[in-house]
Amino acid sequence: MHRSLILASSSPYRRAQLEQLRLPFECVSPHINEEALAGESPADLARRLAAEKARAVATTRPEALIIGSDQVAECGGHTLGKPGSRERAFEQLKSCSGRRVTFHTGISLLDSGTDRQRTEVEVFTVHFRQLSDAQIERYIELDKPLDCAGSFKVEGLGISLFEKMEGSDFNSLIGLPLIRLVDLLRESGVDPLCVISRPDGN
């Protein structure tokens, strides 16, 4: 691979996901304002922030392929952010009990050398089980999902909260739609099955 690959994120979850593709990359925090605009839909917000994250990093990384991603969850017309506290996590999970939650995950790939950028939004839906207060408290205690949108870690015990899932890419639920990302990378001349990094990172 001739150009550097940059993940515009400080998320350890997205870093772990991108590592699955075995491509050499580095992480750079984008430092942008993530507040929604007036009247902005969850899908439009996820799309805009994913693109802006990539753009924010491009100023210091010329000739690179930069990945931006952002996720917005909604339940009953209300946006679910990262809870930040046990109390807020309990409130979120209580409100989701027995209901459907939709995740809009924006994925953007920017070639800072040509200024070509492609941005997509993957939609994934989960149907929550009816949960008792005791089950919610126990889940929060065990998985500690305080830095996760929607207050759960699907890659952990969070899977036990759901009755079913609907969507084309399970990875988008964690935060980085890998199937769509591979499509975008291939369009830019990078195929993970042709450029595999060795254990030493070279």
Residue-level pLDDT at 194: 87
Does residue 193 lie in a domain region? Answer: no
Does residue 43 lie in a domain region? Answer: yes
Tens-place pLDDT, residues 154-172: 888 999 999 999 999 999 9
Quick one: average pLDDT of 78-88? 91
Residue-level pLDDT at 198: 45
- Is residue 97 a contact partner of residue 128, using CB atoms and an 8 Å limit? yes
Q: Is the pLDDT of residue 190 over 80?
A: yes
Residue-level pLDDT at 195: 56
Residue-level pLDDT at 2: 63
Active-site residue list: 70
Does residue 192 lie in a domain region? Answer: no
Q: Is the whole model's pTM more than 0.85, yes or no?
A: yes
The CA distance from 127 to 132, in Å, is 15
Q: Is the pLDDT of residue 42 over 50?
A: yes
Number of domains present in the structure of the chain: 1
CATH number at residue 136: 3.90.950.10
Alpha helix ranges (H) inside the chain: 12-19, 42-58, 86-96, 133-143, 171-174, 178-187
Whole-number Cα distances in Å, 88 to 57, 123, 197: 31, 24, 41
The CA distance from 5 to 57, in Å, is 11
Domain that residue 174 falls in: 4-187
Does residue 199 lie in a domain region? Answer: no
Q: Is the pLDDT of residue 6 over 60?
A: yes
Residue matched to tokens 């920017």: 110
